[in-house]
């Protein structure tokens, strides 16, 4: 049975505070915001840098069993896209994780991501479509693009040009928050 006070963030380096101190990451900032606004949620960040959707499928059942989250913020797929993995495989893995989370009684907030155009427009656009299609199919709230306020601002990304720096993390939280807030309950 799902716990009414746990949010599981299940993602990759974009949620794991890659290259910065953990307390600077958007997930840590989310914990602070929830506390300051009177929400009594525990946040479990089960994000792993470099994680693909196939790795996520392998790890999610244990995380669901261990933490019994009320809500899962599913932020995976970027590494699939950066590696040029088959779009059907990425979509199927994300769908499997949505199904696993829902079967465990959790609500899912799906987080969309976009990739650089390295593999051409057909792949890049097909990749971007995966997230709204899944959100529509499974009736999920969707963050359209996690890095919407960060990706094209060089002052908010690390030297690798992909990962947010500490100043890029608050805008990420501001991108996620309006989609997460309707799922929350006060004073738990």
If you ran DSSP here, which 8-state letter would residue 48 be given? -
Domains of the chain, by residue range, sit at 6-181
36: Cβ contacts below 8 Å, ≥ 6 apart: none
Cβ atoms of 176 and 146 within 8 Å: the answer is yes
- What's the pLDDT at 188? 44
Mean pLDDT of 88-109: 98
Instruction: Share the mean pLDDT of the chain.
Output: 95
What pLDDT, in 10s, does the model give residues 132-158? 999 999 999 999 999 999 999 999 999
Q: Please report which confidence band the pLDDT of residue 187 belongs to, taking 50, 70 and 90 as the band edges.
A: low
Single out the catalytic residue among 12, 13, 47, 67: 13
How far apart, in whole angstroms, are the C-alpha atoms of residue 98 and residue 5?
19
Residue 9 phi/psi, 5-degree rounding, is -95, 115
Annotated catalytic, 163?
Answer: yes
Q: How far is Cα of residue 158 from the mean position of the Cα atoms in its chain?
A: 19
Cα 72 from chain centre? 9
**Catalytic-role residue among 35, 49, 160, 167:** 160
> Hey, what are 59's tokens?
């790890």
Q: Which of 4-8, 62-66, 111-115 shows the lowest mean pLDDT across its residues? A: 4-8
Reference 13, options 124, 165, 153, 179; nearest CA is 165
Active site residue 153: no
Round to whole Å and give the CA distance between 46 and 9: 6
Buried b / exposed e across 32-45, counting CB within 10 Å, b at 16+? ebbeeeebebebbb
Query: Which CATH architecture best describes the domain 6-181?
Result: 3-Layer(aba) Sandwich (3.40)
- Chain segment 59-87, per-residue pLDDT in tens: 999 999 999 999 999 999 999 999 999 99
Q: Is the pLDDT of residue 175 over 80?
A: yes
Q: What is the pTM of this model?
A: 0.96
- Is position 179 annotated as part of the catalytic site? no
- The active-site residue out of 12, 67, 80, 163 is 163
Read out DSSP for 51-94?
--HHHHHHHHHHHHHHH--SEEEEE--HHHHHTT--HHHHHHHH
């Amino acid at each position: 049975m799902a716990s009414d006070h746990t949010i599981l963030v299940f993602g990759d380096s974009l949620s794991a505070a890659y290259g910065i101190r953990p307390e600077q990451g958007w997930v840590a900032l989310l914990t602070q915001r929830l506390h300051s606004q009177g929400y009594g949620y525990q946040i479990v960040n089960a994000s792993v840098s470099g994680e693909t959707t196939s790795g996520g499928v392998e790890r999610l059942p244990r995380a669901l069993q261990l933490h019994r989250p009320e809500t899962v913020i599913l932020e995976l797929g970027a590494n699939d896209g950066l590696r040029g993995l088959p779009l059907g495989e990425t979509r199927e893995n994300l769908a499997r994780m949505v199904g696993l989370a829902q079967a465990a009684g959790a609500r899912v907030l799906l987080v969309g991501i976009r990739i650089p155009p390295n593999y051409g427009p057909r792949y890049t656009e097909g990749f971007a479509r995966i997230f709204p299609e899944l959100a529509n199919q499974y009736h999920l709230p969707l963050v359209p693009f996690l890095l919407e306020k960060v990706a094209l601002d060089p002052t908010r990304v690390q030297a690798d040009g992909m990962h947010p720096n500490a100043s890029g993390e608050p805008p990420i939280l501001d991108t996620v928050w309006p989609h997460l807030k309707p799922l929350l309950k006060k004073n738990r």
